[in-house]
Structure 1
Amino acid sequence: VYTEKNGKPVYDWHIVDGIIDTYRARGVRPYLEIGFMPEALSAAPKGVPYRRAWKPGNDYKGITAGWSYPPNDYAKWGELVYQWTRHNVVRYGRAEVERWYFEVWNEANLDFYWSGKPQEFYRMHDVAIDAVRRALPTARVGGPDVAGSGDAFMDDFLTHVTTGKNYATGKIGTPTDFLSFHAKGQPSVVDGHVRMGIANQLKTADAGFAKIAAIPALARKPIIIGENDPEGCAACPGPANAYRNGPLYASYTAASYARLWTLARRRGVTLEGALSWSYTFVGQPWFAGYRQLASNGVDLAVLNVFRLFAKLGDEQVAANSDGEIALDAIVQNGVRDAPDVGALATRDRAGKVAILLWNYHDDDVPGPDAAVHVALGGKHGQTARLWRVDATHANAFGAWQDLGSPAKPTADQVAKLTAASRLVAEPIATTATGIDVRIPRQGVVLVELQP
């Protein structure tokens, strides 16, 4: 986006325009991370390369290079951000860009992502936020998307944006419409199988909520978990990451996301959203084991759980399960003995009720189905349907294995995989007492009741 000719800026937006155009064509609202540092603006010492070669299997910390340094000219850095934001407003319209999220950098509390001092980060952040707001005074700005709950770095950042002197304006505080951090699980291999680490992710989220709740000026600000995933490296395959292709990732997502909102309510904070840090890995083998939502254009089971989330209404209603692991227990210990058979229920403005059910376990080993009886209080519709995500439903990976795991599927096989990846609605009978449904281990079901 930025080079210089004879010391003067040259802006080029065509790559980032293409990305945002693609997002918008698919109905995606951008969450924009301003970074990293363009080569012409990097304050990296002489001899430090701007970028380094990296591939899966290499030490991830080896990526550190000139892109991770502060700007050598804060005025030019601010003008870059201003011109880009202004360009977005002209290209997409003020009303559209007002719906976006702008934050600065990625995980600046880690020294392999940020090679400057914390105070230099505050300055870079303040200048960037001021530039966004100069181009669009109503822009939604925040941050800082730290790794984990951010430790002391996050504490000091929160102090700076509330009571510190703004490096760009000289005033006290920095405009902050939302706050963001990252929460990750920690899978491992135990006795030859994958064991998920849901407790690690939930503990991290709770710690992040607690930091924000402790500052009255920020406690009611919306929170975005900017990366919310079972582990930290989307581009790193490996035995512990073998959960990614099939229904384990899907059931983990249902069980973990449901707890995030419960934790937020308990802390008295506002969780506005959580983002999956997933990529499209072009030209890779089928089901190669990267963290992604589709493989070669065929949807994975986890994407179908996000589709089930989209069927939920805007009002959460009470739902209790005697098979659900208690909140404090799952935060501390995960799911190691009995499975977590949980429920989350919503209602929309038209009165439609949607009930998300799951049968989750940290250990990726066979287990019995959960025989679930959904008792419905009050009035409920006479017509109901459900969608399933499990080993044999909406699971392209299982279908690929059934085909013999072909390295180069034929066109006919790709069509079969695509068909197997899709959610299919099934009718389900309601009785005077409710609904009965069986959920396989690592399965997710969404029941919809029409008013």
Structure 2
Amino acid sequence: MKFSAWCIGLFLLLSGATFVRASDPVVITVDASKSVGVYKPAWNYFGADEPNYTYAPNGEKLLRELGGLTPAPVYFRTHNLLTTGDGSSSLKWGSTNAYRENPDGSPLYDWTITDRIFDALIAAHVRPLVEVGFMPEALSTHPEPYRHDFPKGDVFTGWSYPPKDYAKWSALVTAWAHHLHGRYGAQVDGWLWEVWNEPDIGYWHGTPEEYDRLYDVTAAAIRGELPQAKIGGPESTGPANDHAAAFLRLFLDHCAHGTNAASGKTGAPLDFISFHPKGNPKFIQDSAGGHVRMNVGAQLRNVQRGMEIVASYPEFRNTPIILGESDPEGCAACKGAQNGYRNGPLYGVSVAEAMMRTYELARLEKVRLQGAVTWAFEFEDQPYFAGFRELATNGIDKPVLNVFRMMGMLGGDWVNVTSSGAQPLSDVVARSVIESPDVNAVATRQEHEVDVLLWNYHDDDLSAEPAQVALALKGLPKQKARIEIYRMDADHANAYSAWQRMGSPQSPTAEQVREIEKSGTLEPERLMSNAAGDAVPVSVDLSLPRQGVSLVRVTW
């Protein structure tokens, strides 16, 4: 018996979905019979400045959640793996004490803290993206002052300088790679390696040529112990900036044609190319007191410019690209009115918008996108929902993490999707999304499943009517099927709104914590099902709130 209209309506009513009654709903059409390429996750990369948070209890909990997001490997990148210190953390700081020197200048290696970091990653089924840096105090050409006092004073202190002895630096990297292989075995071959961070700005108090030397010496030391190691760089800043673009080109020129400082031969190993696209949100004053205006266009302009530069090198057109930090703005630990988006659903929908548009840009520029690192993790000893760019606060997942969970449900092949509410890619890149919202979708198909990720994005953090969406499903078999929906918005999978409803407690009771966590859980809602032999309903009408993300799953 075919599923009648009133039955469908009943299921939608019970599930919280609504029929579209507007005269011109957004029509999103998914043709599951038309594959447009193999889906490969690129969003499954994360990172942070503070490595020591990885083995804190909340850090270990969050790592386990990240490791379970997708069957594909999840990678984690962190600064300060070789920074000198006792392992204590603060904002934008971490340390391992991996290298010191005896009075006679001989090296003293200590892997105790780095082992704790990597043990935490491995236990959570997360692979390291090993950032080799920063400079140990005993090797720095300008060691004092060494530890910074963020947010006061200069952040780029003694750890940001070149080594005073490249032979000792090479020996340190060699010893570290040897130790890691001995401790973790063959799985180290699946890790990724890179040299330093953002060497085009204050993170590196050396010249571009000195960075090339550091890269050559470091890569040779790694490959000497791990011949299969995948090594890349330069992790430079957003190439929409002319200075950053010039640095990226100089590095690629060196890897293609320069004289290698370690071998004396031409060129340097380069298994992936990395740079950092960032957006630029602002706080807009208005009659209501003001609001955040995101700028995903700025982030995407950095993505596109970097891809264009890579594609301009015949030697590297097919080299994978990893966006080593791809975020709405540049400082996870910085506060300010312009960063007021971070606790609620706007952060989540901006991730969906930027990530899916990044896939589009990779197809447009015909380059190989391997990964996009979300530079967000968690901060210890901070108030609840303090406004940092993070995935969880005091062990409670933020709404953004549920968007990654939805992206983790995608799999198989991309299939063809059109949306009457989608903004043209060129417009989003050039002007961002400050007029009409971008009501858009992507979809994948696996053997007995189709997943449709939908989002309703606008730069302005202002309330607006939800988009009424008519989701048309084509190319589905006549099988017994069910349709479910997952939601992240102001009222769904949102621990922040639950915490606010409680009065924003900074010392919540255990019962309150359980309630907040439950409110932040991503749960499916049954939309409908059909009898065997009936066609899956060809249209599902639903309401998609502004700054909301939903995933519609069809299984049979």
Structure 1 length normalisation: TM-score?
0.96
Q: Which 4+ runs in 1 deviate beyond 2 A? A: 429-434
- Secondary structure, counterpart of 2:419 in structure 1: coil
Matching of residue 140 in structure 1 with residue 230 in structure 2: yes
2:149 paired residue number: 53
2:547 paired residue number: 442
1:52 and 1:384 map into 2 onto residues whose CA distance is: 53
* Amino acid corresponding to residue 449 of structure 1 in structure 2: V
Q: RMSD across aligned C-alpha pairs, in angstroms?
A: 1.2
2:71 paired residue number: none
Q: Comparing both chains, which one has the higher relative contact order based on Cα–Cα distances under 8 Å and sequence gaps of 6 or more? A: 2
- Secondary structure, counterpart of 2:452 in structure 1: strand
2:520 paired residue number: 421
2:268 paired residue number: 174
2:174 and 2:547 map into 1 onto residues whose CA distance is: 47
Matching of residue 310 in structure 1 with residue 415 in structure 2: no
1:92 paired residue number: 184
2:401 and 2:377 map into 1 onto residues whose CA distance is: 12
2:173 and 2:375 map into 1 onto residues whose CA distance is: 24
Which of 115, 118, 135 is equivalent to 1:17? 115
Q: C-alpha displacement at 1:138, in angstroms?
A: 0.2
C-alpha contact 1:229 1:276 (8 A) present in aligned 2: yes
* Amino acid corresponding to residue 469 of structure 2 in structure 1: V
- Secondary structure, counterpart of 2:455 in structure 1: strand
Identity within the alignment, %: 47
Matching of residue 32 in structure 1 with residue 130 in structure 2: yes
Q: C-alpha displacement at 1:321, in angstroms?
A: 0.7
1:317 and 1:80 map into 2 onto residues whose CA distance is: 48
* Amino acid corresponding to residue 143 of structure 1 in structure 2: G
Q: Deviations over 1:235-280 (max 9, x none)?
A: 0011110100010001111111000010011101010111111132
1:315 and 1:284 map into 2 onto residues whose CA distance is: 41
Matching of residue 82 in structure 1 with residue 174 in structure 2: yes
- Secondary structure, counterpart of 2:429 in structure 1: helix
Q: C-alpha displacement at 1:314, in angstroms?
A: 3.4
1:384 and 1:432, CA in 2 relative to 1: closer, same or farther beyond 3 A?
closer
1:142 and 1:91 map into 2 onto residues whose CA distance is: 23
* Amino acid corresponding to residue 410 of structure 1 in structure 2: T
* Amino acid corresponding to residue 373 of structure 1 in structure 2: A
1:66 paired residue number: 158
Which of 114, 136, 141 is equivalent to 2:204? 114
* Amino acid corresponding to residue 150 of structure 2 in structure 1: W
2:537 paired residue number: 432
**Unpaired runs of at least 5, structure 1:** none
Q: Deviations over 1:263-311 (max 9, x none)?
A: 0111010101111111321010000000100000000011110111111
* Amino acid corresponding to residue 276 of structure 2 in structure 1: H
Q: Which moved more, 1:295-304 or 1:18-27?
A: 18-27
Q: C-alpha displacement at 1:51, in angstroms?
A: 2.6
1:375 and 1:438 map into 2 onto residues whose CA distance is: 14
* Amino acid corresponding to residue 134 of structure 2 in structure 1: F
Counting only pairs closer than 5 Å after superposition, residues 189-204 of structure 1 correspond to structure 2 as: 189-190=283-284, 191=286, 192-204=290-302
Q: Deviations over 1:174-216 (max 9, x none)?
A: 1111110001011101120000010000000000101100001
Matching of residue 341 in structure 1 with residue 439 in structure 2: yes
Counting only pairs closer than 5 Å after superposition, residues 195-344 of structure 1 correspond to structure 2 as: 195-344=293-442
Q: How many pairs align?
A: 442
Q: Which moved more, 1:372-381 or 1:293-302?
A: 372-381
1:156 paired residue number: 250
Q: C-alpha displacement at 1:352, in angstroms?
A: 1.6
Q: C-alpha displacement at 1:353, in angstroms?
A: 1.2
- Secondary structure, counterpart of 1:98 in structure 2: helix
* Amino acid corresponding to residue 203 of structure 1 in structure 2: R
1:128 paired residue number: 218
Q: Deviations over 1:13-34 (max 9, x none)?
A: 1111111111111121111111
1:314 and 1:30 map into 2 onto residues whose CA distance is: 25
Q: C-alpha displacement at 1:231, in angstroms?
A: 0.2
Q: C-alpha displacement at 1:139, in angstroms?
A: 0.6
- Secondary structure, counterpart of 2:371 in structure 1: strand
C-alpha contact 1:299 1:421 (8 A) present in aligned 2: yes
* Amino acid corresponding to residue 259 of structure 2 in structure 1: K
Matching of residue 165 in structure 1 with residue 259 in structure 2: yes
Q: C-alpha displacement at 1:420, in angstroms?
A: 0.9
